[in-house]
């Protein structure tokens, strides 16, 4: 099977060109478990780890490969190690859960990201959650597609559709049911040969059922929701790369409990395009939209042209991203300090060695 069938295109060929003469073989990661990577090459699939040099030069966990990544292997007899990670064309990320300020890449090198929400009640859909997912999606480099699933369990799907479309910032919105098949044909238009589609969303929104329906066979395990809060249990426990008969490549990932933002304040501009456009009309370039004269945002709020809840969500996400930026700056300063301490220690040991051999 050719690499082109797994998404290898001119973009990645150009990135690979400088390494062609170095004996490195390109391949795509199809699964990963405990730092063992399954890598599909034109010849065969290898189970391998990253090389010692790779581990030494990697700064953060996001520097390590993930499902969907293109990597370069060095072969030795019948085994292989990962020497390099080709720069990602797109990366849908979030802040890693916990206190650490680190990026967690959920899907790499996707052309489309299906943001799947369930319309069966509970907390599977909310305006704030959609705005949060869109903020990360537009900033990822992939094209977001909003999928409102389980319409067979919803009496007022059209109102959700209108609400999602109003805040989509240009992303397509689709109503679907994995059970009845309604709306699936519109999703199949994205499943083109060589294109990669990543699925993300909360647990229990029906990602695995959608994949099974689109594939025409049961390739993913599905589960039931808790009756108490309609939240789903994790039926997908690890990411995987799946190739359909149509030639499209799917990335399925475990459902997430919360999507903590990753990125800078500029990430909001695409997801809140309406507010960004209003801000450009403010009298002052550094307008905070909190009382300055000539503020186009406040004028739109007063006239009703801008929804107050949407603006509050925007401010919440803005504060979160600013706090994240401060933490990232502090982390980088600490890493820089540790690096120079290591260099100073190495220089000191080298001086002592020279004195010893004089």
Tell me, yes or no, whether 53 lies in a domain: yes
- Rounded Cα gap, residues 240 and 235, in angstroms: 13
CATH number of the structural domain spanning residue 32: 2.40.50.140
Same structural domain, 77 and 102 = no
- Lowest-confidence segment of 125-134, 309-318, 338-347 by average pLDDT: 338-347
pLDDT class of 249 with cuts at 50, 70, 90: very high
Tell me, yes or no, whether 139 lies in a domain: yes
Bridge partners of 27, per DSSP, are: 71
Q: Of 330 and 76, which is predicted with more confidence?
A: 76
Same structural domain, 105 and 189 = yes
Quick one: which H or E segment has residue 174? strand 172-175
Same structural domain, 23 and 111 = no
Same structural domain, 49 and 107 = no
pLDDT in tens, 84-95: 999 999 998 865
Tell me, yes or no, whether 311 lies in a domain: no
- Rounded Cα gap, residues 208 and 197, in angstroms: 13
Tell me, yes or no, whether 57 lies in a domain: yes
Q: Is 98 left (phi over 0), alpha (psi -120 to 50) or beta?
A: left
Q: Other CB atoms closer than 10 Å to residue 160's CB: what's the count? A: 19
Question: Within 13 Å of residue 104, how many CA atoms lie on the same side as its CB?
Answer: 15
What is the CA angle 119-122-128, rounded to 5? 75
Count Cβ neighbours within 10 Å for each residue of 92-122 and write b for 16 or more, e otherwise: bbbbbeeeebbbbbbbbbbbbbbbbbbbbeb
Mean residue pLDDT of the chain comes to 82
- Looking at 51, 85, 119, which one is the last position of a domain? 85
Structural domain span for residue 199: 91-252
Tell me, yes or no, whether 320 lies in a domain: no
Q: Of 218 and 191, which is predicted with more confidence?
A: 191
Tell me, yes or no, whether 268 lies in a domain: no
Per the structure, the count of domains in the chain is 2
- Looking at 221, 252, 283, which one is the last position of a domain? 252
Same structural domain, 95 and 240 = yes
CB 90 within 8 A of CB 140: yes
List, in sequence order, the alpha helices (H) in the chain: 10-16, 52-57, 127-140, 157-166, 184-188, 207-215, 268-271, 273-279, 296-303, 308-356
Q: Other CB atoms closer than 10 Å to residue 326's CB: what's the count? A: 11
Same structural domain, 97 and 244 = yes
Quick one: which H or E segment has residue 112? strand 112-118
Same structural domain, 151 and 172 = yes
Same structural domain, 134 and 213 = yes
The structure tokens listed for 135 are 């903020």
Residue 237 has pLDDT above 60, yes or no: no
Tell me, yes or no, whether 158 lies in a domain: yes
pLDDT at 321: 75
Tell me, yes or no, whether 214 lies in a domain: yes
pLDDT at 84: 95
DSSP code per residue over 259-290 = ----S-GGGHHHHTHHHHHHHTTSSSTT--SS
Same structural domain, 203 and 124 = yes
pLDDT at 340: 59
CATH number of the structural domain spanning residue 181: 3.40.50.300
Taking residues 5-34, report their average pLDDT: 93
Q: Quick one: which of 154, 122, 147, 126 has its CA closest to 233?
A: 122
Q: Other CB atoms closer than 10 Å to residue 230's CB: what's the count? A: 15
- Looking at 252, 276, 296, which one is the last position of a domain? 252
Same structural domain, 134 and 234 = yes
CB 92 within 8 A of CB 51: no
- Rounded Cα gap, residues 244 and 249, in angstroms: 6
Same structural domain, 156 and 236 = yes
pLDDT in tens, 279-331: 888 888 888 888 788 899 889 988 888 888 888 888 888 777 776 666 655 55
pLDDT in tens, 145-162: 999 999 999 999 999 999
- Lowest-confidence segment of 176-190, 224-238, 342-356 by average pLDDT: 224-238
Same structural domain, 100 and 217 = yes
């Amino acid at each position: 099977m050719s690499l082109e069938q797994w998404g290898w295109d001119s973009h990645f060929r150009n990135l690979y060109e400088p390494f062609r003469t170095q004996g490195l073989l390109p391949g795509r990661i199809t699964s990963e478990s405990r730092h063992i990577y399954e890598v599909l090459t034109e010849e065969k699939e290898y189970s391998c780890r990253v090389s010692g040099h790779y581990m030494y030069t990697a700064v953060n966990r996001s520097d390590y490969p993930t499902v969907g990544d293109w990597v370069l292997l060095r072969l030795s007899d019948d085994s292989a190690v990962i020497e390099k990670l080709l720069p990602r064309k797109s990366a849908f990320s979030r802040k890693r859960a916990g206190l650490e300020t680190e990026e967690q890449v959920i899907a790499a090198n996707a052309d489309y990201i299906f943001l799947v929400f369930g319309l069966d009640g509970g907390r599977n859909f909310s305006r704030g959650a959609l705005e949060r997912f869109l903020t990360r999606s537009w900033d990822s480099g992939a094209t977001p597609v909003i999928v409102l699933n389980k319409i067979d369990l919803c009496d007022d799907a059209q109102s959700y559709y209108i609400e999602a479309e109003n805040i989509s910032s240009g992303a397509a919105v689709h109503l679907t049911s994995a059970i009845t098949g309604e709306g699936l044909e519109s999703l199949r238009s994205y499943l083109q040969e060589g294109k990669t589609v990543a699925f993300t969303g909360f647990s229990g929104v029906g990602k695995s059922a959608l994949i099974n329906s689109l594939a025409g066979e049961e390739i993913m395990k599905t589960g039931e929701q808790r009756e108490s809060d309609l939240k789903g249990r994790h039926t997908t426990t690890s990411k995987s790369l799946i190739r359909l008969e149509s030639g499209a490549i799917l990335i399925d990932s475990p459902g997430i409990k919360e999507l903590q933002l990753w990125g800078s304040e500029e990430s909001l501009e695409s997801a809140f395009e309406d507010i960004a456009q209003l801000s450009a009309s403010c009298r002052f370039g550094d307008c905070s939209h909190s009382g300055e004269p000539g503020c186009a945002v406040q004028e739109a709020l007063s006239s009703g042209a801008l929804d107050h809840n949407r603006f509050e969500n925007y401010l919440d996400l803005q504060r979160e991203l600013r706090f994240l930026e401060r933490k990232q700056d502090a982390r980088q300063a600490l890493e820089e300090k540790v690096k120079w301490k290591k260099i100073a220690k190495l220089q000191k040991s080298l001086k002592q060695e020279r004195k010893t051999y004089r």
